[in-house]
Amino acid sequence: GESVGLHLPTLSVQEGDNSIINCAYSNSASDYFIWYKQESGKGPQFIIDIRSNMDKRQGQRVTVLLNKTVKHLSLQIAATQPGDSAVYFCAEGPYSGNQFYFGTGTSLTVIP
Amino acid sequence: DTGVSQDPRHKITKRGQNVTFRCDPISEHNRLYWYRQTLGQGPEFLTYFQNEAQLEKSRLLSDRFSAERPKGSFSTLEIQRTEQGDSAMYLCASSRQGSYNSPLHFGNGTRLTVT
């Protein structure tokens, strides 16, 4: 399944499928990006980050892709599990700075 | 677990009352942030400290809001004369800041309801 961030804030996928969550950022000066996962009643939890000198970074079951040309960021989750159900936020900021700006978020629901 | 700790988890107050929230960051982190989050939205920056110095405040932070970090460790956020519009989740985050940015580590927030 695939979302388009602000335009499609909800995404439902079958357990075991891959998920793609998209984020469009606005500040061309941002050079550091982070994905967070937020479960109901909890604070955002760090998933993975990427600097602008990279276009891809992989973690455990997650991959972040960065396209600086179109200011687009995506989070791919492999073999999505019910525990992945949450709201996912991208955050942008300057790598040498001190401020992070968060997008609206995408709600991911995993169907068993 | 030595993550970011916030107290209380929930606070219900009547309009016009003052409230104070506390945040204990990860011990080796020198930066501490306060964010506000309303339902369905991403966190919005309020203010941040480097050690005990408050270095930046958002325009969202009206003069009814004040934050302190007196010894560069825990921080408090006080809201005076609360209004219904102050109802939100208040999130605290910390990071270890050197020359470069690093991910924020968030607490589980204090949910404020103003009646």
Q: Going from the first residue of chain A to its last (112 residues), give the mean pLDDT of each consecutive group of 10, the final group possibly shorter.
A: 52 96 89 93 94 94 95 96 96 78 91 93
Say which amino acid occupies A79: A
Residue A8 has a pLDDT of 45
C-alpha distances (whole Å) from B38 to each of A58, B32, B72, B89 are 31, 20, 28, 6
How big is chain B, counted in residues? Answer: 115
> What letters, b where the CB count within 10 A reaches 16 and e where it falls short, cover B24-38?
bbbeebebbbbbbbe
Residue A62 has a pLDDT of 98
Is the bond preceding residue B8 a cis peptide, omega within 30 degrees? yes
Tokens of residue A96, six digits? 């040498």
Residue B98 has a pLDDT of 67
Distance CA A73, CA A64 (A): 7
A102 and B43 within 8 Å at the Cβ level: the answer is yes
Residue A26 has a pLDDT of 83
Residue B45 has a pLDDT of 92
C-alpha distances (whole Å) from B99 to each of A92, A96, B69, B96 are 17, 6, 21, 10
Residue A7 has a pLDDT of 44
* Chain A contact set for B41 (CB, 8 A): 104-105
Residue B87 has a pLDDT of 97
Residue A6 has a pLDDT of 42
* Chain A contact set for B97 (CB, 8 A): 98
Residues (pLDDT < 70) of chain B are: 1, 98-101
* Chain B contact set for A97 (CB, 8 A): 101
A105 and B106 within 8 Å at the Cβ level: the answer is no
